[in-house]
Amino acid sequence: MSRKMKVIAVATQKGGAGKSTISIHLAVQAMQSKKNAQVILLDLDPQGSVADWAKLRELEDPIVLQAMPGNLSAYLSQAEDDGADYVVLDTPPHAGGTIDAAIRAADLVVIPIRPGPFDINAAAGTVEIMQQTGRPGLFVLSQVAAVGPEGDDTAAVLQDLYPDVPVAKARLGQRKAFMQALISGQAITEFDRPSSKAVGEIKALFREVKSAIKVSSG
């Protein structure tokens, strides 16, 4: 694949961690990051949450495709031929060939984690595939409560368990605005005021993702 096109896989083997929410927001932020950016958001999850969001959306970009399992390489080849700048992969919340292929194809694997022990335990399978394939990753804490130590505690445990996988400084809070944006077919940067905390969180996360991709690409 062209080194110009960057592939971001959002992967975790546990439902409810914020995987589709992060996939959508990374894709929209990538689209907004530069003029005429071409971004493709591939929904590899049979639940089709991203595809459902796209049906509510009035705008045509980013391009959202509900991909058939087993055909990822064909979709990526077509995206490259079409001159895509970014492809974001929303993966299934379980182990299998689809998530393996997505991680292998990725320039960066973003792993959403809700604070607490269950998402930490679920991360083991994703990290194992990353280690086997040599792909870089980034943990992202999502649905973090505004008060309490659970976010910091979860970040500390992740770094102890997986010192080679950084935890993003940007965290996505437990905010009603994210839900309101998604059910209207928008991302938070299209729905909320530019100065809102939610918008700031997404912009900060995308900056970290871009930086991590740059580092991994050498």
| pTM for this predicted structure | 0.94
Kindly report, residue by residue over 3-45, the tens digit of the pLDDT: 589 999 999 988 888 999 999 999 999 999 988 899 999 999 9
Residues 6+ apart with CB under 8 A from 195: none
Residue 3's pLDDT is 55
Mean pLDDT, to the nearest integer, of 82-99?
90
Q: Which residue has the higher pLDDT, 200 or 95?
A: 200
The Cα 173–Cα 170 span in angstroms is 10
Q: Which residue has the higher pLDDT, 15 or 216?
A: 15
Closest CA to 54 of 93, 20, 10: 20
Kindly report, residue by residue over 144-189, the tens digit of the pLDDT: 998 889 999 999 999 999 999 999 999 999 999 999 999 999 999 9
Domain boundaries, the chain: 6-209
pLDDT class for 2, splitting at 50, 70, 90? Answer: very low
Measure the N-to-C terminal CA separation of the chain; round to a whole number of Å: 16
| CATH class of the domain at 6-209 | alpha beta
